[in-house]
Amino acid sequence: MAVRVPLTFVRPTMRLAHPIQDGEGRLVAGVGTQLSDRVVAHLRKLAIQAVSVTSAEDLPGWEIIEPLAEALADLDARFATHPETPERAQLHAAVVRLLTRRARLHDEEAGT
C-alpha cells in the first residue's frame, strides 16, 4: 500500500509508488525509482515536498501524511471531547480548510 511521506523523512531504501512529472508533464522519476540522496535533491529542486512510496514500515506514524478522510476523522474525534462554542466551530472549520488544501496540493503534486 502506498503512503505519502514528506521528502524530509524518506529513506534511501524507499521506492516511489507513483511517477513524478515536472510542471510540463515530463517524467522526472518513474514508479519504483529508489529515493537515493541524488534523486531526493533533484525532487527538492523541483519544489516537491512529499512523495508516495511503496512501503514505509520503518517510519513512525507522525512521519507519514495520512489520507484526508483519516485526518478529518481524527480531527472530529479530538474536537468531540470539547464543548461546542462559536470559537471552537471557527477553529474546527479553519483546520478542515487547512487539511483539505494540503491534501489537494499533495494530490496535484502527485498528479492524481
Interval 6-17: pLDDT, tens = 888 888 888 998
pTM, rounded to two decimals: 0.59
> Which CATH architecture describes the domain 1-65?
Alpha-Beta Complex (3.90)
How many residues would you count in the chain?
112
- Cell representation of residue 111: 498528479
> What residues does CATH 3.90.105 cover in the chain?
1-65
**Nearest CA to 4 among 72, 87, 86, 61?**
61
Q: What is the pLDDT of residues 59-111, one digit of tens each?
A: 656 566 678 888 899 899 999 988 999 999 999 999 999 989 888 877 776 55
Alpha-carbon distances of 53 from 58, 93, 102, rounded to whole Å: 12, 30, 18
